[in-house]
Chains A and B, each alone.
Chain A
Amino acid sequence: MKEKSILEMRSINKSFPGVKALQGVDFTLCEGEIHALMGENGAGKSTLIKVLTGVYTKDEGEIFIKGKDEAVTIKSPQDAQNLGISTVYQEITLCPNLSVAENMYIGRTKGIGQNWKKMNEDADKILTSLDIPAKATQQLASCSIAVQQMVAIARAVDMDCKVLILDEPTSSLDEQEVEKLFGLMRDLKARGVGIIFVTHFLDQVYEVCDKITVLRDGKLVGEYAIENLPRLQLVSKMLGKELDDMSDIKGEAAPYDKADKDEKVLEVECLVSDAGIKPFDFYIKKGEVNGFTGLLGSGRSECVRAIFGADRVLSGKVMKNGKEIKISKPLDAMKNGIAYLPEDRKIDGIVGDLSVRDNIILALQVLRGSLKPISKAEANKFADEYIKLLGIKTASADTPIKSLSGGNQQKCILARWLLTNPEYLILDEPTRGIDIGTKIDIQKLVLKLASEGMSVTFISSETDEMIRTCSRMIVLRDRKVVGELSQDEISQSKIMSTIAGGDR
């Protein structure tokens, strides 16, 4: 092992039936280093981490840990923890109804006895030392998501970890929270902890990391110091091709001009739902792409959920092509040609155990009614058509959707709604947690659909994606619509200032 490295993985191989998930991958982590692990979905990041944390056992290869002379075997997450490898996952894996201290010490006490007072004091000490704004006795659920994430890290740190793995920790945090998290990461780095950081946000990589290791198709592409790998190169390494400039899609279609400017497909007046948004007005024209923007929690999703009837609508008026319609449940919206791809793919989108085919036909089936089942032949035809059209990577249409990668799951949900041939398509964070290639695919698709006359609402927390796709943006702050920007006004700085509250 090299002098400063605390973790070395050498020629790791791991196969699953039909897939070589990892082929001879090397990975080295040094003391006091934040190391980004990058790659598209299916590149092998998760597999590598799962091998390291003992969730999977490797087929071949060696893992060295500082302080151990021989290669170590990691057969279970317990082994990994004992070796000082801790993981904080994307989803909070703590128990929300327990206290912060209990969460930090759960499963780590020996024997039956428990000194509660000491446990709380210890927890408080760690929390203060890491500058985490939480009290030991506080119920975890009462903390913000960011603080919960930090508690998870505090738990890991207190277990005397040398290697900390953060798997997409920032995907549900807003900017200030991300800053706080980064502060904590830098603090740990100064203490000599090696951090493996997995994320889809390029900005964050460049803000906080020292090194980048890129994987593609289960193989190592290379390890780079951050200053030697500019953004565009990173992307092209991840995609494995020279990127034909991501901004290209901007010019591909100009749907807004082709669209009939006066025809309002859907109009909403003073809509209020029980999700706590202020009444808002909204309209969308034929062939238009617009978006809701604002910070996390500003009410973007709540607005579209109200339109789709996903939350209970308290009052307001919805008009379709000038005629008033009533939407009290999702089915009403679907019957009126509205489709909604929800923000949380896992909870609201996929039906995990069902096949790709059943997931794709589900919404169309519901629209057709329960006495007209789609025959297996027809379902297969639809599924094959969309698997091909959207380039969904799946072993077959019979594969359970949960075994697909995030991006491909998202494409299936997209296929589900496209199959219903909607007039108005709402996409709430369609690009979250998926790889760049798919992100671009989806943005291109949105523009193409709009040019064919579909109205689309596109919501994304990555503003540049919205700038590229939307011709009109509704800005929200604190669950209230605070502004609207159209075509020429849409720019990063203008959006920021509107979100922040005027040109102050």
Chain B
Amino acid sequence: MATSKKETGAKAVLGKIVRHQLFIPVAALLILAIFNLIADPSFYKITLGYSNDGNPILSGYIMTILDYGSELAILAIGMTLVTAASGGQDISVGATIAIAGSVILRVLCGTESRPETLKAPIIVAFLVAVVVSMLFGAFNGVLVAYFKIQPMVATLILFTAGRSIAAWINNNELPIISDPKFGYFGGFIPGIPIPTTFFITVICVIIIMLVLKFTTLGLYTQSVGINESSSRLNGLNPAFIKFLSFVILGICVAVVGLIKVSRLSTINYSVVAKDIEMDAILAVALGGNALSGGKFNMTASILGAYVIQFLTTTLYKFKVQSDALPAYKAIVVIALVVMSAPIVRDWMSKTWKNLTKGNKAKEVA
């Protein structure tokens, strides 16, 4: 008797886990991890090597995932808030990353295209980029929140124009920065073998978690996303909260912009962060968040970002050609998205229940 009680308890716990929002991204990560483990355990090999200038660096596929997943994870933070508050997505993040990167280069290089020394401290350049990105976020936010334009349509403007603006900021030149310090943000800090991007992400995640814990941003954003009219009657200002979400996404964009230009020490306006908006939106969706807004789970979105990077890296590992990559990715994504659809999950839990019921009946018999 006691054991059977325990069993049902375990089952209830299992059901709870399956229904939890984190289930899909965590399960996806596990499946990918196990797949790699079986297919080729060398996937997990991490080697300590030395860079050209003699600094220790860890390398391996896991490091690649941590490194490149960071950009997506940071964007996913802002995209989650925008999605929750406005019930739509910002498709201009790739273009605004180009702008932010361009601004950083412009401030660091001044008018020269290959400066001997930096014209301004990197932190200043970054802060200017943050302000500029927030302004562009504010532009999107005003269109969405105050002019009530659909987010996709509103952000289509910058999606189209952003890269031209980025090029225009540097007079269409491609400045190159030779100062090695600038490379730290997208690479390694001497003496620390872990990619800097990982630390940047950790800082961003800590900040957003603190903000969610010590302010009411989460509650207000969800409330506005679920029911704008009733939020207003509870004293909230829905338009401002939507606006705010776009501005916060602007900050995230500036951080990613810094990482992107730091990796190359230069910029390619038409290619930098191309299609990244779609991956960011996908990260939010993989996290089980409704793209129509409302309730959200930040951790799930961030995990979703790493799932996408894990998948990409796995495909690279198996020598999938980069042209073919999107197609393979699409297949896996379809499977994941279908699995996380409420209908399918209901069906799964029902089937599961029936199966366990059947077993029980047999036991009794």
Contact = CB atoms under 8 A, between A and B. Distances in A.
Interface of A: 308, 310, 329-331, 334, 340, 342, 347-354, 358, 362-363, 365-367, 370-371, 373, 416
A366 B241 CA distance: 13
A139 to B, nearest CB: 22
Task: Among A350, A370, A371, find the residue whose CB has the most chain B CB atoms closer than 10 A.
Answer: A370
B231 A373 contact: no
B214 A371 contact: yes
Contacts of B229: 347-348
B230 A367 contact: no
Interface of B is mostly: helix
B219 A373 contact: yes
A363 B233 CA distance: 9
B213 interface: yes
Interface in B227-249: 227, 229-237
25 contacts: A310-B232, A310-B233, A329-B237, A330-B234, A330-B235, A331-B235, A331-B237, A342-B233, A348-B230, A350-B230, A351-B222, A351-B226, A351-B230, A351-B231, A353-B226, A353-B295, A354-B223, A358-B222, A362-B219, A362-B223, A363-B235, A365-B216, A366-B216, A371-B214, A373-B214
B294 interface: yes
B215 interface: yes
Nearest to B241: A370
Contacts of B214: 371, 373
Nearest to A416: B234
Contact of B215 (A329, A351, A370, A416): A370
Nearest to B293: A353
B226 A352 contact: yes
B217 interface: yes
B188 interface: no
B230 A334 contact: no
Nearest to A335: B235
B241 to A, nearest CB: 10
B324 to A, nearest CB: 38
A340 B233 contact: yes
A370 B230 CA distance: 18
A350 B235 contact: no
Contacts of B230: 342, 347-351
Interface in B63-97: none
Interface string B113-124: 000000000000
B198 interface: no
B57 to A, nearest CB: 41
Contact of B233 (A348, A352, A358): A348
B68 to A, nearest CB: 33
A347 to B, nearest CB: 5
A310 B229 CA distance: 10
A330 B213 CA distance: 26
Contacts of A365: 216, 219
Nearest to A373: B216
Contacts of A373: 213-216, 219
A358 B219 contact: yes
Contacts of B234: 330, 362-363, 366, 416
B84 to A, nearest CB: 11
A334 B232 CA distance: 12
Contact of A334 (B219, B222, B231, B235): B235
A430 to B, nearest CB: 14
A374 to B, nearest CB: 8
Contact of B235 (A348, A349, A353, A366): A366
A367 B235 contact: yes
Contact of B226 (A329, A330, A354): A354
A395 to B, nearest CB: 14
A366 B237 CA distance: 10
Contacts of B222: 351, 353-354, 358
A342 B231 CA distance: 12
A370 B222 CA distance: 14
Nearest to A369: B216
Given A342-B230, A350-B230, 16 more contacts: A329-B237, A348-B233, A351-B226, A353-B222, A354-B223, A354-B226, A358-B222, A362-B219, A362-B234, A363-B234, A370-B216, A370-B217, A371-B214, A373-B215, A373-B216, A373-B219
B83 to A, nearest CB: 14
Nearest to B214: A373
Contacts of A371: 214-216
A143 to B, nearest CB: 24
Task: Among B213, B217, B227, B295, find the residue whose CB has the most chain A CB atoms closer than 10 A.
Answer: B227
Contacts of B220: 366, 370
A382 to B, nearest CB: 14
A331 B220 CA distance: 14
A367 B236 CA distance: 10
B335 to A, nearest CB: 26
Contacts of B226: 351-354
B226 to A, nearest CB: 5
Nearest to B15: A17
Contacts of A350: 227, 230
A356 B236 CA distance: 18
A452 B294 CA distance: 38
Contacts of A352: 226-227
A367 B235 CA distance: 8
A352 B226 CA distance: 7
A362 B229 CA distance: 14
Contact of A330 (B216, B233, B294): B233
Nearest to B212: A373
Contacts of B233: 308, 310, 330, 340, 342, 348-349
Task: Among A331, A362, A367, A416, find the residue whose CB has the most chain B CB atoms closer than 10 A.
Answer: A362
A467 to B, nearest CB: 28
A358 B231 CA distance: 12
A370 B244 CA distance: 13
Contacts of A349: 230, 233
Nearest to B217: A370
Contacts of A348: 229-230, 233
Nearest to B294: A353
Contacts of A362: 219, 223, 234
A39 to B, nearest CB: 28
B25 to A, nearest CB: 20
Smallest CB-CB A-B distances: 6 pairs: A331-B235, A366-B235, A370-B216, A351-B227, A353-B226, A334-B235
Nearest to B220: A370
A308 to B, nearest CB: 8
Contacts of B217: 370
A347 B231 CA distance: 10
B14 to A, nearest CB: 15
A398 B14 CA distance: 19
A342 to B, nearest CB: 6
A270 to B, nearest CB: 24
B9 to A, nearest CB: 16
Contacts of B237: 329, 331
A362 B233 CA distance: 11
B85 to A, nearest CB: 13
B350 to A, nearest CB: 11
A331 B241 CA distance: 15
A354 B226 CA distance: 8
A93 B25 CA distance: 36
B351 to A, nearest CB: 15
Nearest to A366: B235
